[in-house]
Copies of this chain bind each other. A is one copy, B any other.
Amino acid sequence: MASSTEENYLKALYNLSNGQGEVNISDLANGLKVSMPTANSMVKSLQKSDWVIYEKYKPVILTPKGQKEAALIVRKHRLTEMFLVKKMGFGWEEVHEVAEQIEHIHSPKFFDRMDEMLGYPTIDPHGSPIPDNQGRMKEFSYTPLSACKPGQEVQLTALTNSSAEFLEFLNSRKLSLGVHLKVISREAYDQSIVVSYPDHPIETLSEKASERLLVRILE
């Protein structure tokens, strides 16, 4: 059974995996805020338990076993976040840290009951998909708001970044998932985007912010 530390490494590898499912040691070390030798030695030990495939100087690859294990931890993390928001009155900006701890609890029943109480949700409070209990995750393809054209009407559906600072920024603009936005215009100068939505007839969003907002185009 994976330790909490190992679980955090598996999750980081899962989240950092690109199209090829490869992760560089330096990206892994960076993501977990450990030194490269630490990441290197952990990867070697994950290999011994068949969680990853690894060869010197090559990027790390999760095995199918490692992928499933990682996805199930992501599942526990996201179910927890949803539970905290929907059932315990947490704000979406407050849940990540706690979920980072609760995801390591070993108790199938605890998470199954959360799932049931939540009505089997498929996304977490930040719009990220929740893997099913077999570790399968549906991939959604949303459009960043930064890629939208003036005149388009869209619905805010997910975020590419869920840092507390960004979530608090969204709170301050009353932007939450599900909100309908109309793209008014776009500044050629700095790529900022002007949108309109209920109670906010004109709101300007920087390129940085609009890249992080994923939307579903309406009609």
Chain A residues packing against B (C-beta within 8 Å): 84, 88-90, 94, 97-98, 101-102, 105-107, 109-110, 113-114, 117
Q: Which residues of B contact A88 (CB under 8 A)?
A: 110, 113-114, 117
Q: Say yes or no: A110 contacts B98, CB within 8 Å.
A: yes
Q: Which residues of B contact A98 (CB under 8 A)?
A: 105, 107, 109-110
A113 nearest CB neighbor, chain B only: B88
Q: Say yes or no: B109 contacts A94, CB within 8 Å.
A: yes
Nearest 4 CB-CB pairings of A with B: A98-B107, A88-B113, A101-B105, A98-B110
Q: Say yes or no: A107 contacts B113, CB within 8 Å.
A: no
Of B101, B105, B106, B107, the contact of A107 (CB 8 Å cutoff): B101
Q: Which residues of B contact A94 (CB under 8 A)?
A: 109
- Known A88-B117, A90-B113; further 13 A-B contacts with Cβ < 8 A: A84-B110, A88-B110, A88-B113, A88-B114, A89-B113, A90-B109, A94-B109, A98-B105, A98-B107, A98-B109, A101-B106, A101-B107, A102-B105
A83 nearest CB neighbor, chain B only: B88
A182 nearest CB across to chain B (Å)? 36
Q: Which residues of B contact A106 (CB under 8 A)?
A: 101
Task: Point out which of A84, A88, A106, A114 has the most chain B C-beta atoms below 10 A from its C-beta.
Answer: A88
A119 nearest CB across to chain B (Å)? 15
Q: Which residues of B contact A105 (CB under 8 A)?
A: 98, 101-102
A116 nearest CB across to chain B (Å)? 9
A90 nearest CB neighbor, chain B only: B109
